[in-house]
Chain A
Amino acid sequence: MESEGTDFFAATFSIEEEDHTLANSLRFFLNKNPHVAFCGYSMPHPSEELVNLRVQTTGKITAVQAVKAACEDLQQVCGHMRTTLAAAVTKYQAEQARDPAMR
């Protein structure tokens, strides 16, 4: 991955081998950040697995910090989903064992 500008408050991140799966989720969490003035992503060509993520901040944090925060948010969501799913599966199996007729 390459980025133009490191201590800058605006940067474009070229992410290789990624597509809408990660880019759209990151874009959402970046937009939730109150210090991000603009965030958007584009795919230059659908045959090439490359995503350009553009981040412009208000100046309180750098663009890199914004992206890292969004990554951490998404990781938190994933971690939480994982534990919740495991708990839900156990709960469902317990309910099935108690009452097999219940569907």
Chain B
Amino acid sequence: MYSRPSRNFRKPSIVIRTNEPDYMVFELKNTDVSAANALRRVMIAEVPTIAIDLVEMENNTTVLNDEFLAHRLGLLPLVSTEAVAWKRPFEWSSDADMIETAFALDVNCTVDGVMDVTSNDLIPLNPEHRVIPVNYQLDEKPIVICKMRRGQQLKLVARARKGIGKDHAKFIPVATAVFQYKPQITLSHSAMAEMTDDEKQAFVNSDPSKTFKFNPITRMIEVDNEESYMYDEECLVKARELGRPDLVTITQKQDHFIFRVEGTGVLRVADVVRQGIEILHKKCMDLEAGVQEALAVAKGQPLPVSAGG
């Protein structure tokens, strides 16, 4: 249709550095910052998860009031691998659609001293739905919902639904999703040749992020970890002080990003990234369909038959 620009932003490449169930570091290359940012925004705000959305209180004599407890219950992370198969409440159309599951909490403090009501006390009323709090009944410390003393009771039913981060922060599947440009640090060997060892060491020490190191064997400054550089420009100030403003040049590679995504146990991080890409893809397809529709409406033609709803 039109000649493609020579710099091809359409074939990004991904290299994974670390892939653990709750932490992933990967590099995204050959794409623009707007695409990287779109992926980051979708990972945070539009990947669906399951969280408690409705709490029916039967008895609450604890020190925390009803809405306080409901708020805390909503923030509990629930394993959301089923979220893909579920529908959002407004999408419900037939009895076969999964939209919610329920948990019961029934705790009565009969001992002296403080008793913790934790996420381990939530009992899934439909265990076949496979939605449980993260680290349910495992050795790790559970999440404390509330504390009680003798005589206090808490009895409720909590209903969990599917949602996205845009609606409420409790649905955000990641702890953080961040990316940085890959820094490009070039050192001038000619400037280094004119410096003394003390000056070089002083320069290396001036950077609080320890980006550089002094190699005593070659007696040169080397880059130790360029990605730790925080752009505070302390080393540039030091270079100017030493009379060598051309010693180091620090730029950012505009098409190379390093993503760090940390999960909360709600979904595997690799799944969050994959779903993020799929949701971004779907948004484009929906927009294209919308453009077609708007065109048909403006021309007074019959609406096009949508291919996928």
Name the residue of chain A whose CB is nearest to the CB of B299. A6
Which residue of chain B has the shortest Cβ distance to A26 in the bound complex?
A: B287
**B266-309 interface bits toward A, Cβ cutoff 8 Å, 1 = contact, 0 = none:** 00001001100110110111011011011100110000000000
User: Is A75 within 8 A of B284, CB to CB?
Assistant: yes
Bound CA span A5–B31, Å: 32
B interface, size bucket: 35 or more
B32 at the interface (CB under 8 A from A): yes
A-B contact count (CB 8 A): 130
B1 close to A69 (CB less than 8 A):
yes
Given the complex of chains A and B, what is the CA–CA distance between A28 and B2 in angstroms? 16
Q: Which chain A residue shows the least CB distance to B1?
A: A69
Contact with A along B1-22 (1 / 0, CB 8 A): 1110100011111111011000
Q: Which residues of B contact A92 (CB under 8 A)?
A: 16, 19
Which residues from A are CB-within-8-Å of B9?
Answer: 29, 32, 77
Distance between A28 CB and nearest chain B CB, rounded to angstroms = 4
Contact, CB under 8 Å: B288 / A32: no
B26 near A88 with CB under 8 A, answer: yes
| Interface flags, B22-42, vs A, CB<8A=1, else 0 | 000010100110110111011
Contact A81 B284 (CB under 8 A): no
Smallest CB gap from B18: residue in A: A103
Tell me what chain A mostly uses at the interface: helix, strand, loop, or mixed. Answer: helix
* Complex: A82 Cα to B277 Cα, angstroms: 6
Q: By the criterion CB–CB under 8 Å, are A64 and B281 in contact?
A: no
Give every chain B residue within 8 A of A76 (Cβ-Cβ): 10
| Most chain B Cβ neighbours within 10 Å, of A21, A26, A73, A84 | A21
Complex: how many Å from CA A88 to CA B13?
Answer: 9
In the assembly, what is the distance between CA of A29 and CA of B42, in Å? Answer: 18
Name the contact of A84 in the complex, choosing from B12, B34, B283, B294 (C-beta under 8 A). Answer: B12
- CA gap between A91 and B18 in the complex, in Å: 12
Write the residues of chain A forming the contact surface with B, with a CB cutoff of 8 angstroms: 1-3, 6, 13, 15, 18-22, 24-29, 32-35, 60-61, 64-65, 67-69, 71-82, 84-86, 88-89, 91-93, 96, 103
Residues on B lying within 8 angstroms of A by beta carbon are 1-3, 5, 9-16, 18-19, 26, 28, 31-32, 34-35, 37-39, 41-42, 45-46, 270, 273-274, 277-278, 280-281, 283-285, 287-288, 290-291, 293-295, 298-299
